Structure 1
């Protein structure tokens, strides 16, 4: 159980990130999506600081 628990948790997250890393450089739309995600994250950070 100790071996399976930490192994099962990161696998789906890592596989999703690996797929994103593979798909991001291929289509140019994901670059805009990444920029939008960064803008939203910065906006949320500003709102959190102001709040």
Structure 2
């Protein structure tokens, strides 16, 4: 199960709604990030997205 931290108006909570729904659409939201190494920072993510975007 993947947990996502969500901050709304200063309150943090775990967003388990995607995992609870169990639908594949939630997994599709993150497919473009699967090739990133764990712990990748903002720069690595930005570079990865830039290299793989459709022009």
Give TM-score, length-normalised by structure 2. Answer: 0.32
When you count helix as a share of all residues, which structure comes out higher? 1
Higher relative contact order (CA 8 A, sep 6+): 2
> Which protein is richer in strand relative to its size?
2
TM-score for the superposition, normalised by structure 1: 0.34
